[in-house]
């Protein structure tokens, strides 16, 4: 593959990913716009189906930054719609609606509804073949209305049930989703952007990936209940859209750049991919201590001091001992809740005050129960940061949380 071909393939892949992300955003808007009597199925008959007893609306989402809504583009989108529509009895058809929702290049003046004559024009497809006798290209047309077995009356009824909804470009559309979440959850703009939206996007991505229709169906109430205030759950989809560097910068600037000066109790839950070594994990821990601990300060007042907490789910006990030993060998002062060998774990011991004379650099817990006890014992503002390989820990939603999937320790270091 040449460099030009590789660049073109990358552009096509990026456009495809943006299309999926636009679809997720459109589906979030569909859920937020649903009434109490409606449910939403994603990846159903169409990309999102708005279902009620009397009317079922099927929405297909398209995002074409560089392509106009031509007859050809429209035809490709609506053929499955018409095919499905024709399968229903006449009385059932009147309970169906179809929507083509999306963004197209230069869409000013594009029709949003179609009459019979317009639809008949759209359903005529031209194709070319080479005449074997002359070698010249010969144009022929195919009438898809005939192929579908659709009468004029069938098409006229479909036209009355079909609309095009022209939406905004990618970033403007996303801003509308964030505003809709802000209004629905009654939170501040920053809260909606930094916490609610990432969690809503992740929830929609999970819905779309579910295997059964029932699992891909939700209501406005149920969906909003998945989006907890102060909890930002990032999806790997965000990494697919951006380069790793851009993804890390986005999350770092949104959540971590301004927090280094705040004396929160920060709880880092780190569960790296199996490909990462203990040395890589220890390097990450050193990096976090360097940025998130005030242990080297000689003058900082006690109430402004801070040291990070660490929990490593699934770490081998021997590796945890090695990690602690390495840190202590490098002159880091740590606490782990044990006053001496054989003593019981206590949060009092874990939370020993950091001072200029007792420069505690980090606090390490050994299991989920100790983590829960530490979170409850802390009297400061608490922030839980999960850097995980795909399976974050379940943490009480009353604590502010940021959950980020990472591919490596090096990637995690770019974020925090």
Model confidence band, residue 132 (pLDDT cutoffs 50, 70, 90):
confident
Q: Give the tens place of pLDDT for each residue, 286-310.
A: 999 999 999 999 888 888 899 999 9
The beta strand positions in 325-381, using DSSP E, are: 333-335, 360-365
242-415 placed in CATH 3.40.50? yes
Is there a contact between 157 and 92 (Cβ–Cβ < 8 Å)? no
d(CA 348, CA 376): 12
**How many residues belong to the chain?**
416
pLDDT band of residue 368 (cuts 50, 70, 90) is very high
Looking at residue 137, its pLDDT comes to 81
pLDDT higher than 50, residue 195: yes
Tokens for 152, please give them: 């004029």
Confidence band of 350 (pLDDT split at 50, 70, 90): very high
Q: How far apart are CA 385 and CA 270, in angstroms?
A: 8
Q: Tell me the two tokens of residue 159.
A: 């036209």
Is residue 410 predicted with pLDDT exceeding 90? Answer: yes
Residue 79 — φ and ψ, nearest 5°? -55, -45
- Surface-to-core class of residue 326, CB atoms within 10 Å of its CB (0-12 exposed, 13-18 middle, 19+ buried): middle
What is d(CA 148, CA 22) in angstroms, rounded to the nearest whole number?
Answer: 31
pLDDT score of 131 = 76
Q: Specify the pLDDT at position 129.
A: 78
In this predicted structure, which of 40-49, 91-100, 136-145, 290-299 has the lowest mean pLDDT?
136-145
Are 205 and 237 within 8 A, CB to CB? yes
> What pLDDT, on the 0 to 100 scale, is given for residue 4?
44
25, 31, 34, 37 alpha-carbon torsion, rounded to 10°: 160
Percent share of the chain, pLDDT over 70: 94
Phi and psi at 121, nearest 5°, equal -65, -45
Between β-strands 333-335 and 309-311, what pairing exists: parallel, antiparallel or unpaired? unpaired
Predicted pLDDT of residue 261: 54
DSSP states along 107-172: -TT--SS--HHHHHHHTEEEEEEE-TTT--EEEEEEEHHHHHT--HHHHHHHHHHEEEEE---HHH
Assess whether pLDDT exceeds 80 at residue 383.
Answer: yes
Q: Are 371 and 311 in contact (CB under 8 A)?
A: yes
- Work out the pLDDT band at 44, boundaries 50, 70, 90: very high
Strand partners, 58: 49, 98
| Mean pLDDT of the region 372-398 | 93
Q: How confident is the model at residue 5 (pLDDT cuts 50, 70, 90)?
A: very low
Mean pLDDT taken over the chain = 91
pLDDT level of residue 9 (50, 70, 90 thresholds): very low
CB contact set of 409 (below 8 Å; sequence gap of 6+): 272, 276, 280, 281, 283, 284
Helix (H) or strand (E) holding 374: helix 368-377
Q: Quick one: pLDDT at residue 259?
A: 53
Quickly state the pLDDT bin for 2 (edges 50, 70, 90): low
Cα–Cα distance for residue pair 152/314, rounded to 1 Å: 65
The answer, yes or no, to whether residue 111 has pLDDT greater than 90, is no
Residue 380 phi, psi dihedral angles, 5° rounding: -95, 175
Crossing angle of helices 3-32 and 170-185, in 10° steps, is: 30
In this predicted model, what pLDDT tens digit does every residue of 232-264 receive, in sequence order?
888 877 676 667 888 898 899 888 876 555 678
**Torsion region of 221: left, alpha or beta (phi above 0 gives left; psi -120 to 50 gives alpha):** alpha
Q: Two tokens at 105?
A: 């290049």
User: The tokens 């014992």 sit on which residue?
Assistant: 377
Mean pLDDT of 148-153: 96
pLDDT at 109: 76
Confidence check: pLDDT of 230 > 90: no
SS3 content of the chain, % helix, strand, coil (to 5): 45, 20, 35
For residue 310, how many other CB atoms are within 10 A of its CB? 25
Rounded CA-CA distance 282/260 in Å is 20
Radius of gyration of the chain (CA): 28
Rounded Cα distance, 272 and 270, in Å: 6
Q: In angstroms, rounded to a whole number, what is the distance separating the alpha carbons of residues 314 and 312? A: 6
Name the pLDDT band for 85 (thresholds 50, 70, 90). very high
Distance CA 374, CA 351 (A): 8
The residue extents of the domains of the chain are 242-415
Question: Which DSSP category does 248 fall into?
Answer: H
Nearest to 45 by CA among 12, 4, 87: 87
pLDDT at 175: 97
């Amino acid at each position: 593959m040449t460099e030009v071909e590789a660049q073109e393939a990358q552009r096509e892949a990026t456009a495809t990913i943006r299309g999926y992300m636009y679809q997720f955003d459109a589906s979030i808007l569909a859920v937020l716009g649903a009434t109490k009597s409606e449910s939403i199925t994603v990846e159903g008959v169409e990309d999102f189906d708005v279902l009620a007893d009397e009317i079922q609306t099927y929405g297909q989402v398209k995002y074409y930054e560089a392509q106009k809504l031509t007859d050809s583009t429209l035809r490709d989108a609506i053929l499955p719609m018409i095919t499905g529509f024709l399968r229903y009895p006449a009385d059932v058809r009147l309970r169906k609606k179809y929507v083509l929702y999306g963004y197209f290049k230069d869409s000013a003046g594009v029709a949003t509804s179609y009459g019979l004559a317009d639809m008949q024009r759209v359903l005529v497809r031209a194709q070319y073949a080479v005449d074997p006798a002359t070698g010249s290209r010969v144009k022929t047309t195919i009438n898809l209305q005939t192929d579908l077995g659709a009468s004029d009356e069938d098409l006229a009824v479909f036209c009355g049930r079909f609309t095009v909804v022209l939406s905004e470009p990618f970033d403007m559309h996303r801003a509308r989703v964030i505003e809709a979440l802000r209004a629905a959850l009654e939170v501040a703009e920053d809260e909606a952007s930094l916490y609610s939206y990432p969690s809503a996007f992740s929830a929609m991505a999970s819905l779309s990936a579910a295997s059964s229709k029932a699992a891909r169906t939700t209501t406005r109430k149920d969906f909003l209940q998945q989006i907890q205030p102060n909890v930002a759950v990032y999806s790997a989809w965000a990494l697919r859209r951006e380069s790793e560097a851009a993804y890390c910068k986005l999350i770092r600037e949104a959540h971590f750049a301004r927090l280094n000066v705040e004396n929160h109790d920060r709880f880092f839950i780190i569960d790296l991919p199996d490909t990462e070594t203990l040395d890589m994990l220890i390097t990450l821990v050193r990096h976090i201590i360097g940025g998130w601990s005030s242990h080297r300060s000689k003058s900082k007042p006690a109430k402004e001091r801070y040291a990070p907490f660490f929990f490593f789910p699934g770490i081998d006990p021997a590796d945890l001992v090695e990690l602690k030993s390495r840190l202590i060998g490098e002159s880091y002062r740590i606490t782990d809740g044990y006053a001496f060998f054989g003593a019981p774990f206590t949060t009092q011991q874990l939370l020993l005050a950091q001072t200029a004379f007792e420069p505690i650099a980090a606090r390490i817990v050994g299991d989920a129960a100790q983590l829960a006890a530490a979170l409850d014992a802390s009297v400061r503002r608490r922030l839980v940061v999960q850097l995980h390989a795909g399976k974050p820990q379940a943490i009480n939603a009353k604590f502010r949380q940021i959950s980020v999937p990472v591919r490596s320790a090096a990637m995690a270091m770019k974020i925090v």
